């Protein structure tokens, strides 16, 4: 066990300041060749350690289809993340354990219409899947991304969103909570835009959503109202985790280990869990 808890050392290749409190760290393994053995699928997470400060759980925000690196987007929330933001720059080293957890049901969504609904930092796990799907575009039908943030400056991955917008095979809908002078796109909370602007096709569509708990709650309500089945709504769950290995017991919800059986769940699965998340 103890050995499984030892992290591998990664070097920060690039730091992107996404928003005032979100940074994306592009990481590469210090030892060459390690990257090849580090195989992961969209939805999985890593344990990210700033040695001496502590460990934190972050999802991988990039797809393994983009070779040579992986991204973690980190929002300043607690002690360790504040430390990461204040100290971690290009060339610095961090410890990484993983990848852990399950992944988005890649087989299930094949051949389906995909609707991504993201809010704030919640776009990070979706981005991994979006990249994966773009790189395997042929496997999927219609492709819609709805992304909302509090303000335009709180939007992550601005450059990449631009690329997506320019991609004719994707439909991108952006929204912010309150109007801004320079903002020409939608204004309003995500569920509202979902119902009023996106108006998704229900048949043969899988919805993948992630964002702040309150957004997920209302988005799922909207989706159900629109007629989606629980099994077609897929989300990722946030829970305190420490080992990532299904041992430390922290992420237990009933008999479920979020770090092993999750973090990706369908709404159907979530409904069967005790209400403790």
Partner 1 sequence: MSFSTFVTDKAGLQKFYEAIMASQETYAPVEKFGKFDFKRVSALAECDPESPIAKTMSIKPLFFPRTAKVMKFVATSAGTDVSEVDEDPLAVKRVILGVKHCDARSLQVLDKVYNWDYIDTDYQNRRQNTVIISTRCDKADTHCFCTSLDYDVENLDAMDILVVHGTDGKEYIKARTEKGNELLSSDVTRHASPVTEEITAPVLKSQYASFAASFRLKMNYKEVNEKLSKIFDTPEFENVSGNCVSCNTCAFVCPTCHCFKISDEKIKDTGVRYKSYDSCNNGYFTLMAGGHNPRPAKYRRWRQRAMHKFVYYKERFGENLCVGCGKCTISCPVNISIFEVVNQVSAAAMQE
Partner 2 sequence: MNYTKQIQDIASQLFAEGKIDVFVGYRLNGFDDNQVPVLIKDPQDVHKLVFTDKSVFNLVNYLKTDHTRRKRVGLVVKGCDSRSLNLMLTENQVKRENIYVVGICCEGVTDDAGQKMQNCVDCMVPDAVVSDELLGTASGADTLTYKMNADVAALSNIPLTERAAYFEEVFENCIRCNACRHSCPLCYCAKCCIDQETATLYNGANTTSAAFHALMTWSLHLAGRCVDCRNCEKACPSHLPLHLLHKQNESVIFENFQEHLAGVIPEDRGAFYKYSLKDPDDFIM
Partner 3 sequence: MARVGVFVCFCGANIADYVDVPQVVEEVKRIKEVKFATEYKYMCSDPGQGMIRDAIVQNKLTSIVVAACSPRMHEKTFRKALSDAGMNPYLLEVANIREHSSWVHQKDKKAATEKAMDLCRMAVAKSIANEQLHEISVPVTKRALVIGGGIAGIQAALDIADARIPVVLVERSPSIGGKMAQLDETFPTLDCAQCILTPKMVDVASHPYIELIPYSEVIELQGFVGNYKVRIKKKASYVNFKTCTGCGACWQKCPVKVPNEYNMGIDKRKAIYTPFPQAVPNKPVIDAEHCTMLTKGKCGICAKVCDKGSIDYTMQDEIIEREIGAVVVATGYDMWDPKPYEEYGVGRFKDIITSLEFERMVSANGPTNGVPIRPSDGKVPKNVVFIKCVGSRDEAKGIEYCSKICCMYTTKHTILLHHKVHDSHAYVFYMDIRAAGKGYEEFVKKAQVDTGTTYLRGRVSKIYKKGDKLMVRGEDAQLGQVVEVEADMVVLATAVSAPKDNPDLARLLGISYDKYGYLSEAHPKLRPVETAKAGIFLAGCTQAPKDIPETVSQASACAAKVCGLFAGDTMKKDPMVSTINNEYCSGCQNCVKVCPYGAIVTDDVPIGHGSKELRTVAKINEGVCQGCGSCVAICRSMAINLAGFTDPQIINEIVSI
Residues of this chain that interact with partner 3 (CB under 8 A) are 50, 52-53, 83-84, 86-89
Start-end of H helices in the chain: 34-37, 79-87, 123-135, 158-166, 190-193, 213-226, 258-261, 267-271
214 binds partner 1 (CB under 8 A): no
In angstroms, rounded to a whole number, what is the distance separating the alpha carbons of residues 248 and 124? 26
Contact partner, 201, from partner 1, partner 2, partner 3, none, Cβ < 5-8 Å per class: none
Stretch that binds partner 1, among 20-28, 155-163, 244-252, 262-270 (CB under 8 A): 244-252
16 binds partner 1 (CB under 8 A): no
For 134-159, give the DSSP string.
HHTGGG-S-EEEEEEESSGGG-S-HH
Site for partner 2 in 2-31 (CB under 8 A): none
Taking the complex as a whole, the smallest distance from the CB of residue 214 to partner 1 amounts, in Å, to 11
Within 10 Å of residue 32's Cβ, how many Cβ atoms?
8
Taking the complex as a whole, the smallest distance from the CB of residue 78 to partner 2 amounts, in Å, to 12
Tokens representing residue 253 in the block = 């919800």
Nearest to 119 by CA among 111, 127, 108: 127
Contact partner, 2, from partner 3, partner 2, partner 1, none, Cβ < 5-8 Å per class: partner 1
The β-bridge relationship of strands 143-149 and 45-50 is: unpaired
Contact partner, 197, from partner 3, partner 1, partner 2, none, Cβ < 5-8 Å per class: none
Placement of tokens 């080992």 in the chain: 243
54 binds partner 1 (CB under 8 A): yes
Residue 237 gets the label, from left (phi > 0), alpha (psi -120 to 50) or beta, of: beta
- Which of 112, 140, 239, 269 binds partner 1 (CB under 8 A)? It is 239
- Which of 13, 35, 53, 139 binds partner 1 (CB under 8 A)? It is 53
Site for partner 2 in 67-86 (CB under 8 A): 79
Distances (CA, A) of 121 to 48, 60, 108, 109, 157: 17, 12, 25, 23, 10
- Which of 169, 213, 224, 231 binds partner 1 (CB under 8 A)? It is 213
Closer residue to partner 2, CB minimum distance, 52 or 179: 52
Q: At what angle do helices 123-135 and 158-166 cross, to 10 degrees?
A: 40
246 binds partner 1 (CB under 8 A): yes
- Which of 54, 105, 212, 246 binds partner 2 (CB under 8 A)? It is 54
Residue 254 burial class via C-beta count within 10 angstroms: exposed 0-12, middle 13-18, buried 19 and up: exposed
In angstroms, rounded to a whole number, what is the distance separating the alpha carbons of residues 147 and 140? 20
Contact partner, 83, from partner 1, partner 3, partner 2, none, Cβ < 5-8 Å per class: partner 3
Closer residue to partner 3, CB minimum distance, 82 or 197: 82
Binding site for partner 1 (CB under 8 A): 1-7, 9, 30, 49, 51-56, 77-81, 93-95, 213, 238-240, 242-243, 245-250, 252-255, 260, 274, 276-277
Binding site for partner 2 (CB under 8 A): 53-54, 79
């Amino acid at each position: 066990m103890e050995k499984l808890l030892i992290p591998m050392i990664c070097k920060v290749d690039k730091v992107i300041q996404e928003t005032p409190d979100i940074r994306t760290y592009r990481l590469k393994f210090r030892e060459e060749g390690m990257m090849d053995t580090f195989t992961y699928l969209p939805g999985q997470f890593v344990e990210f350690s700033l040695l001496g400060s502590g460990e934190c759980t972050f999802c991988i925000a990039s797809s393994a289809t983009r070779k040579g690196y992986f991204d973690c987007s980190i929002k300043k929330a607690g002690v360790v993340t504040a430390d990461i933001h204040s100290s971690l720059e290009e060339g610095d080293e961090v410890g990484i354990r993983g990848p852990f957890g399950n992944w988005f049901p890649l087989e299930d969504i094949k051949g389906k219409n995909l609707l991504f609904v993201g809010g704030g930092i919640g776009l990070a796990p979706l981005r991994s899947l979006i990249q994966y799907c773009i790189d395997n575009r042929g496997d999927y039908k219609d492709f819609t991304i709805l992304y909302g943030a509090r303000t335009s400056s709180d939007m992550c991955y601005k450059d990449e969103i631009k690329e997506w917008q320019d991609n004719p095979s994707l439909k991108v809908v952006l929204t912010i909570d309150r109007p801004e002078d320079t903002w020409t796109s939608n204004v309003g909370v995500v569920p509202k835009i979902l119902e009023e602007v996106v108006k998704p096709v229900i048949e043969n569509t899988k919805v993948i959503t992630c964002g702040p708990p309150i957004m997920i709650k209302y988005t799922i309500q909207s989706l159900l109202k629109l007629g989606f089945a629980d099994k077609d709504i897929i989300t990722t769950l946030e829970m305190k985790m420490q080992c990532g290995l299904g041992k430390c017991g922290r992420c237990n919800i009933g008999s479920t280990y979020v770090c092993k059986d999750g973090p990706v769940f369908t709404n159907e699965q979530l409904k069967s869990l005790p209400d403790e998340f």
